[in-house]
Amino acid sequence: LSDGPLKGKHILVTSGPTHEPIDPVRYIANRSSGQQGSAIAAALRDLGARVTFVTGPATTPPPPGVTVVAVETAREMLAAVEAALPADAAVFAAAVADWRVKSEAGQKMKKQAGAPLPVLEFTENPDILATISRHAQRPALVVGFAAETETVIAHAQAKRARKGCDWIVANDVSPATGIMGGGENAVHLISDGGVEDWPRLPKPEVARRLADRIAQELA
């Protein structure tokens, strides 16, 4: 562990997508690459934090020097996060599936000539950020993300209140921005104090700025 301003602090980071099973061979997923989450974990590590990195099946590898907990589903991610508490801060960068299939088929669903098409019924996944924001062992600083495609700041401010977190890192993930899966991010940091607009930056640089802010806050 480096001797930085976060030495002695334990920080939890969630990252990547979740996979929600349909049957033993099929799942529902999303386009999260895990790049921003991995970069945040690396930046916190570089400031000396002990980082627990709870990641769904992301295409970006986890950074070295952090404790990696690999999960697939939202329910597994929640369990892993709760098991990692207490923490001084938590950053929820994962793109958790909002819904999962209500009853996962025990066997591969078969295509049969003439049979009706399958219909998937969904149920809501646990909201990990909201759960931890109201947890008995709530970290002193809870940071959520808000990936939006319209009315980014208003939606993110409402999300901050609804989820009960301290900060929201809001970004526009409209396809035209190239942010989802791309190497850059343009974020707004929303806190009690208002809204800060950060310039469009490489994801590692967004991560370093966020880690610096977290270090200031925990100091």
Binding-site residue ranges for CTP = 98, 108, 126-129, 145, 159, 163
Q: From the list 146, 170, 179, 210, which residue makes contact with ligand C5P (rule: CB under 6 A)?
A: 146
In whole angstroms, how close is the CB of 97 to ligand C5P at the nearest point? 7
Q: From the list 38, 40, 60, 145, which residue makes contact with ligand C5P (rule: CB under 6 A)?
A: 145
**Binding mask of the shown chain, residues 31 to 70, with x at each position contacting ligand C5P by CB under 6 A:** ----------------------------------------
CA distances from 35 to 23, 57, 107, 190 (A): 28, 12, 33, 21
In whole angstroms, how close is the CB of 209 to ligand C5P at the nearest point? 17
Q: From the list 41, 129, 170, 179, which residue makes contact with ligand C5P (rule: CB under 6 A)?
A: 129
Distance from C-alpha of 92 to C-alpha of 80, rounded to nearest angstrom? 13
122 neighbors 104 (Cβ within 8 angstroms): no
Q: 110 Cβ partners below 8 Å, 6+ apart?
A: none
Distance from C-alpha of 188 to C-alpha of 19, rounded to nearest angstrom? 28
In whole angstroms, how close is the CB of 198 to ligand C5P at the nearest point? 17
Rule CB under 6 A: which of 10-29 touch ligand C5P? 14
Tell me: does residue 127 bind ligand C5P (CB under 6 A): yes
Residue closer to ligand C5P by CB (options 98, 196) is 98
In whole angstroms, how close is the CB of 194 to ligand C5P at the nearest point? 19
| Token pair of 9 as six digits | 């602090």
Distance from C-alpha of 29 to C-alpha of 215, rounded to nearest angstrom? 33
Distance from C-alpha of 32 to C-alpha of 122, rounded to nearest angstrom? 21
Q: 152 Cβ partners below 8 Å, 6+ apart?
A: 146, 170, 171, 172, 188
Please provide residue 128's backbone torsions phi and psi, each rounded to the nearest 5 degrees. -70, -45
- The amino acid at 213: R
In whole angstroms, how close is the CB of 93 to ligand C5P at the nearest point? 6
Residue closer to ligand C5P by CB (options 143, 215) is 143
- Is-catalytic flag, 30? yes
Rule CB under 6 A: which of 86-125 touch ligand C5P? 92, 94, 96, 98, 125
Distance from C-alpha of 145 to C-alpha of 167, rounded to nearest angstrom? 8
Instruction: Specify the 3-state DSSP secondary structure of 50.
Output: strand
- The amino acid at 10: H
Catalytic residue from among 30, 125, 171, 185: 30
Footprint on this chain of ligand C5P (rule: CB under 6 A)? 14, 74, 92, 94, 96, 98, 125-129, 144-146, 159
